[in-house]
Structure 1
């Protein structure tokens, strides 16, 4: 499928705002219609793929294969430290399932690099450099320290063989300590989000937080593919938002929870809560959620599939619809809403980046605004299987702020 037709828009006039910035774009007339304009796509003039250090498995492809790309910049004792991570695959598999070998981290002094694998040689001599956590580290468990919980270990069955994968990791630096929030994926014994705590630097060594020794965060519910065993599915795509002395767990599909002061678990008395949002109708499944604060506002960023269908008049409809017959996955977009408080209420969502879903927004050490993207390979990125070889990349794209909204940096007229 080629590029879909542009959506119909309201009569709101767009224009410049003080400082030479572009203003808010008019939204499609019906809330939930996707904005497909080419200005909202990562392009050569507003984005690039990070030159991450290659591992032996990457050399044939010539770059790192990465989904759910995460990049951030932290001030560590007065110096900028950039980190990158994401969902990786093992050599010989086309995807990151039914198993992968854990979480890799890259670091750099600047966004354009040089990007090197985190130095784990002093932690595991002879192990693959940059691998900071994996189910294969289960042998490091001791009576007082758990590196891999039982529900995170590899297992096998007759349908898939070896099973268990880590998805969508995020690296965070909170109150002088390094953390990783990640998810055990659909082929794991239990599916859901967990927290790793570093006992050293960004390279680790990491252990599992005490709140995840028995299970992922939250309670189990019915969800995921049919092969997920009953009782195994929990909330996925965990992220972390910190502000001052407070920190929150941000989950897929509208959920959040406050972390306890020691960051070992979420606060049990409050448990999981839902953001106050302006929902689409119908509300589709949303994932890859995180909160980003800028200029005193809270931006709730989520990933939504733009699905194409045919209107009664024969024109193409692009919308953040629920899955149904006749609705084809077109792009995996970043949609954003804004609020004055972390919990909301959040505004109507807008399309901030086409094909930039399951990203994260961050600020570089010069105050520049960026988002990540990875070009979802499901059904071919940009809905064109010929471009599949360029999918699953560690990409970053510049953002622009209108004074009200955040968008992928658009072309100025």
Structure 2
């Protein structure tokens, strides 16, 4: 382990409302943050929901000590669980008494994040708050008409502002997300700070060879959720000229899988679409490396770690022109943006890339890899570590 030079190692408490083994960007970030800070010599504790029924418990893990709280299932989501404030407040107070954290890092303004933040403020402990969330992410799980969902979203933004304004530092992965937090949550100082990526994990190892697939592969990876608009990608695949012989691999699980499978049958694409389901890290890495093109049609991405992972594997991209995704595309250099929810435009951009000669396709992939350098995981860890110690970092007023 590496002790921070000239500084006493910290006891860090990370509060996460979604955490490993959940599959989403916030859960992945929290796990990688904990693992990275442990490797830098800090005593890391994570407080997160329990994955099933039962009371709170603590487990030692490679990334630190994980404290699981009593949680309740949500009938509209296959794995997401919530912690009720009156069931966790006392345990959080006892956790603070036992752990005695030097700094707290909350990953949301909901449930655990809110209660941990308020307890830290009450005790005078430094708080860093990171937002990974857009209220629109909840829409598929709310069985209400759109007008009522809009009211919930406005209240959620206001709640975010009320809670996170009490933190010492507020961060979010991209400048666009920081701008949204200013406009809707009225937070005036938000530091755009990438979630970070260890690009070397997705590069070819010395001597490693990936055999080219018999036909071009378009890849999607992520939650199979409504806001990811995977149905638009499937429609676009049906529009791509048959002579390109393109197939689609879909990695991930989620609530819309059955409707997507029905769409594939309806469009007679059964021999061209493969649902790989939830896969381990090694299988996901191989999927990135064999793909000819990565597509992200989601319209509520605060950063999109899976896109950064695909780019780390030297893969060209076609991304929706929405939220933070435009920051990951240099038009015509590493890929293209397409008009959100426009399957015809997506099909045209996919066709344009997949029709390129092999050397130009590889050049686009290399450009993707170069663009990832600005999102170094090591740089992200160093910046958060400095924030934990209270060192000044330039924040952005948006």
Pair in the same fold by TM > 0.5:
no
Query: Greater helix percent: which structure?
Result: 2
Query: Greater strand percent: which structure?
Result: 1
TM-score by length of 1: 0.27
* More relative contact order, 1 or 2 (CA 8 Å, 6+ apart): 1
TM-score by length of 2: 0.28
